[in-house]
Chain A
Amino acid sequence: MWELLKIELFKIFRKPRTFISFGAIAAIILIIQLGLKFDGKSYLELMMGDISDSFEIPYDMVLNGYFIAFVILNAILIHVPLLVALVAGDSIAGEANMGTLRLVMTKPVSRTKLMLVKYFASVIYTVLLLTWMAILALLASILFFGTNDVIIARNDVMEQIQKADILWRYIAAFGFAAVALSTVAALAFLLSVFAENSIGPIVATMSIVIVLTILSELKIPMYDNTVKPYLFTSHMLGWKGFFYSKTGADGTVISGSIENFPAILRSLGILLGYIFVFVTTAIWVFRKKDILS
Chain B
Amino acid sequence: MDMMYKTILLSNIFLLSAFFTFAQDVSSLVQKVRTKIEQVNSYEADGTMKTNVNFLKVPQAKVKIYFKKPDKLKIKNENGISLVPKSILGTGLNNLLKGNFTALDAGSDLINNTKVRVVKLIPVDDNAEIVLSTIYIDEPHLVILKAKITTKESGTYEIEMNYGKYMDYALPDKITCTFSIKNYKLPKGVTLDYDDGSKKRSDENLKDARGKVEIIYDSYSVNKNIPDNVF
Partner-B contacts on A (CB < 8 A): 46-47, 49-51, 53-58, 61-62, 74, 78, 148-149, 151, 153-165, 217, 228, 234, 237-241, 244-245, 247, 250-253, 255, 259-260, 263-264
Q: Does B56 contact A (CB under 8 A)?
A: yes
Which one, A148, A161, A251, contacts B51 given CB within 8 A? A251
B185 contacts A158, CB within 8 Å? no
> Which residue of chain A lies nearest to B183 when distances are taken between CB atoms in the complex?
A50
Given A49-B185, A154-B191, A160-B83, are A260 and B196 also a contact pair (CB < 8 Å)? yes
A238 contacts B187, CB within 8 Å? no
A263 contacts B192, CB within 8 Å? no
B57 contacts A153, CB within 8 Å? no
Q: Does B95 contact A (CB under 8 A)?
A: no
Cα distance A69–B160 when bound, in Å? 40
Cα distance A49–B188 when bound, in Å? 10
B200 contacts A156, CB within 8 Å? yes
A263 contacts B196, CB within 8 Å? yes
> How many A-B Cβ pairs are below 8 Å?
139
Residues from chain A with Cβ under 8 Å of B211 in the complex:
54
Q: How large is the interface on B (under 10, 10 to 19, 20 to 34, 35 or more residues)?
A: 35 or more
- Annotate B37-70 by CB proximity to A: 1 below 8 A, 0 otherwise: 0000000000000111111111110000000000
Which one, B52, B55, B206, contacts A252 given CB within 8 A? B52
Which one, B192, B198, B206, contacts A260 given CB within 8 A? B198
Residues from chain A with Cβ under 8 Å of B50 in the complex:
250-252
A157 contacts B201, CB within 8 Å? yes
Cα distance A250–B57 when bound, in Å? 11
Residues from chain A with Cβ under 8 Å of B52 in the complex:
250-252
Q: Does B86 contact A (CB under 8 A)?
A: yes
